Structure 1
Amino acid sequence: MIYFFVGFEQVAQSFSDKEKWMTLQVKVDSIHSVQYNQKPKVYSFNPNFISDYKGYKLGMSVEEIDRLLSFRKQNKYVNSAEEFQEVTKVSDSLLKVISPFFKFPDWIQNKPSFKSERKEYAQKTDFKKEKIKVLDINQATQEDLIKIYGIGEALSLRILKQKEILGCFVSMEQLNEIWGLSPQVLVELNSHFKTVVPSDFRKIAINDASLKELSQFSYFKYALAKQIVTYRSMNGNFENIEDLSKIKGFPVEKAKIISLYLEF
């Protein structure tokens, strides 16, 4: 009979090492499996600064990357996903995948749309031009005046009151004398109105008018009216506005408009 002696401690140690190795292998395989199935995380980025490697990782072709780099060499920037596609010519499908990660500066994202504002302003202007025809300012109603942007109830009544005081407007320049009308509103008024002196408008006979009649004229104060009457009685009739402007205190800067109210 032959006896074999087996080192059970050695066998046990062998099985123990193998068990450890198997356990470690399972962990490694598990990590590989997770890494294989997990998609790489993509962080937000400014597409203006995509490098060759970054573009390759995003799925862009060499030509598409080169187009972007050439564009940037001109010191130009893309400010939206649409502009990025216009420059690089990437496909719609690729743009759909990568554009959610685009991050542009806050000032670009929050900047007002000047094109839309200009378009809206143009539409408003066209609307007003369609609604308002060029009218005689002396025939304008309060409703006509309020249609002008910048004129409300108060200003429209002020214009009508001034027309009543003067009898009529003889020049659109007289609107400059009305308090509260801004330069922009005056431009609009001149674009939509004109002056037409009524055929029955009665002018002031400067050589026959009484002191009371002259002093009631909007452009003459009582003191000036008195001097006109005195000058007339001492020197005879006025031949023209130049003669009248020789009177002390006469508003020479308004001589042209005043002459349209007078009859010599």
Structure 2
Amino acid sequence: MKNLKSHFKFNKQERSGIFFLLLLLILVQIGYYVYRSYSSKVSGPLILESSLQVQVDSLKTIAAKNNKERVYPFNPNFITDFKGYSLGMTIEEIDRLHEYRKRNKFVNSAEEFQEVTKVSDSLLNVINKDFKFPEWTQNAKPKSTHESRSIKSEKVNKVVLKDLNTVTAQDLQKISGIGEKLSARIIKFRDRLGGFLIDEQLYDVYGLEKDVVKRTLKEFRVISKPKIVKINVNIATASELSKLIYLQKHVSESIVNYRNLNGSINSLNELSKIENFPIERIDRIALYLSL
């Protein structure tokens, strides 16, 4: 017991030292508490100035737009099942379009697209901004009342049409506006194609005015279609592709380069992404290509 008490006996100098040590510990604790209180106030939520915040929000908006997948214009005549589904079309709507195309017919406006597929107005308003139709369909003038009556009269009279694929140059020269040079050019163009597949290919003859084409199609139409072997765009060489009258050599080479970089072409509409591709002729070119 005596030895234990000896540990708690301090002289005056030792007691002063213990007192100052305790005082120092208390001051340190107070200082630490004050420091933590001040730090929490300083490190509170960062508030930006209004002008700086506007700039930050603007940069966020631009970044969000850049992150969105770019939608390329496309011809709705060549919508695949996957493309139609991604656009929000139902299976029935996609099937109606495909049945229409099987009859070798094309829609040339958003209104015709809705008439064929029966899509709702709300869906049409969303997707039609990306529709890309051939240029010549957009330049067609609306039929006047007089023209409409003439067409009805022709139907009543049941005009017998001649085959555009067997017509001679002399027959073509009977059409007002077609002379010796143009008739020869039409025949040459037809031979290079191997025969017209659709009536609208007559518009592609160089130098043939649209009004003259319309007059010609009142008497001549594609009746006997030629049998063609479609070119597989995923295995054909640039040389084979360039044999198609609508594809120039440098475009054919671009198609092969694009295919090599991307592995394969999954949709003919994907060709519109290729530089210098004649997108206004994609409906014609698609007649000669396969996947």
TM-score normalised by the chain length of structure 1: 0.46
Specify the structure having the higher radius of gyration (Cα). 1
TM-score normalised by the chain length of structure 2: 0.42
State the structure with bigger RCO (CA 8 A, min sep 6), 1 or 2: 2
